Amino acid sequence: MTVAAEMIRTYPADLGKVDRDALVRCIEQCVFCAQACTACAHACLSEPDDQLPMLRKCVRSDEDCADICATTARILSRHTGYDANITRTVLQTCVTVCRSCGDECERHASRHEHCRVCAEACRRCEQACQELITALG
């Protein structure tokens, strides 16, 4: 059992009709994506100097996505005083940012393996967030 799953399982108050599996999956994918994006941004910055101009937007996308994913994971981990409208908005933002970052990383994936790995993490996170939005109704 993962830490996220264990924390959701041990939460003392009722979570209502929230699909706990979808919630755990989303939290975990957000954390994984944040890590992948942070690592990808720094891998881009470590590429040879002649590569940096074409990777600038990728670095920015990675850093923005890492911040949004980390924030989304934290918000999804808070259950006291739950506000469905805020949760849906944050999830939709995460979907949008992950899609954009994934697209940018895919542009470089054939030349930079770290971008391929990051793009895949972005797609998994985008999907997990979209599934949780659907589950929330």
What pLDDT, on the 0 to 100 scale, is given for residue 66?
A: 98
> Residue 39 sits in a domain of what CATH number?
1.20.1270.360
Q: What total of structural domains would you count in the chain?
A: 1
* Residue 49, pLDDT score: 82
pLDDT, block means (10 residues), the chain with 137 residues: 90 82 97 98 91 89 98 93 89 98 97 97 98 91
The confidence score (pLDDT) of residue 31 equals 98
The secondary structure of the chain as a DSSP string is: --HHHHHHHH-SS--TT--HHHHHHHHHHHHHHHHHHHHHHHHHHTS-GGGHHHHHHHHHHHHHHHHHHHHHHHHHT--TT--HHHHHHHHHHHHHHHHHHHHHHHHHTTT-HHHHHHHHHHHHHHHHHHHHHHHH-
Q: What does the pLDDT read at residue 33? A: 98
**Is 94 inside a domain boundary?**
yes
Owning domain of residue 58? 19-136
pLDDT at 134: 94
pLDDT the model gives residue 58: 96
pLDDT of residue 46: 92
User: For residue 1, is it within any domain?
Assistant: no
